[in-house]
Amino acid sequence: MVPIFSTISFYLAWLFVALAIWTVFEVPFKRLTGKIDNAKAKEDLGGGVIGGGILAGILFGVSWYLAPPTEVSAEEAALADAETTLADYKRMSADDRGAFLARVLPGIAPEAPDYQEQFRNCLGYNTPIKQEDLTALKVLGWCDADRVNNPETFAGYFNDLEAKDHSAWAIIHCRDRAKLDLVAPRTADFAMFPGRPQHLGSWEYRVVEDFESDNAFGVTFGFRLFCTIQFNGDGDPMEMRNWTISEFALQAE
């Protein structure tokens, strides 16, 4: 019965739209021909247009709410999955990613039904630097090759896509490291809203930032900070001891 009510509501909505349009033209015509005075014309025009518009809006809403979902054939769904790129996968919600993997994995690794989480981690691995135009199925094929030939590698993939973002702490810790090399660290003037650091994957970030600081004579100089830092994955990211700086340089400009 729902599709019938939806269709009826849709056509009734258009009927009220037509009545509102008719009111817009019909009332002024009566006014010009003297069949209705000016005050009455304004009253009828306003009431007809507003009333018709409200009813049309309500009925359009009802028809949209009751409309049955568009059915997609199995062939269309399979084609859409085959054309899904990493960029498409990244834009999906967590639930949609799980549903996508549940659909496609039986065709990739039918003998491995219990490996969805590992495939999900592999697909999310290094997403910041992977080509986004790669199809998800192609990447999953590589993941399955690792499952067969390199099971330890397959089991150890880090899901960068769904891991918590620690880039803000990366910037803070790199700035703190830079202050250790400054003569007057309290005068260091960093940007209030720094640019986002480059994410290299597995909670590793490359920070490049310009700032100013005074020397021993109070003269302000410009500096550029280069820092590659990685969160170890254990403990609180607020603590510097849980991070490792692999590259660091401070250049005066």
Domain that holds residue 11: 2-66
Is residue 160 included in any domain, yes or no? no
Decide if pLDDT at 253 tops 90.
Answer: no
What are the tokens at 190? Answer: 């960093």
Is residue 161 included in any domain, yes or no? no
User: Please, which residues bridge with residue 196 across strands?
Assistant: none
Instruction: Report how far residue 205's alpha carbon sits from residue 227's, in angstroms, rounded to the nearest whole number.
Output: 8
Identify the domain boundary among 155, 176, 208.
155
Is residue 162 included in any domain, yes or no? no
Decide if pLDDT at 11 tops 60.
Answer: no
Is residue 179 included in any domain, yes or no? yes
Residue in 112, 115, 143, 145 with CA at minimum distance from that of residue 130: 143
Q: Is the dihedral of CA 234, 238, 242, 243 positive or negative?
A: positive
**What pLDDT, in 10s, does the model give residues 162-171?**
999 999 999 9
CB within 8 Å of 88: residues ≥ 6 apart? 136
Residue 182 pLDDT level (bands cut at 50, 70, 90): very high
Decide if pLDDT at 29 tops 80.
Answer: no
Contact 178, 188 (CB under 8 A): yes
CB within 8 Å of 124: residues ≥ 6 apart? 157, 159, 160, 161, 162, 163
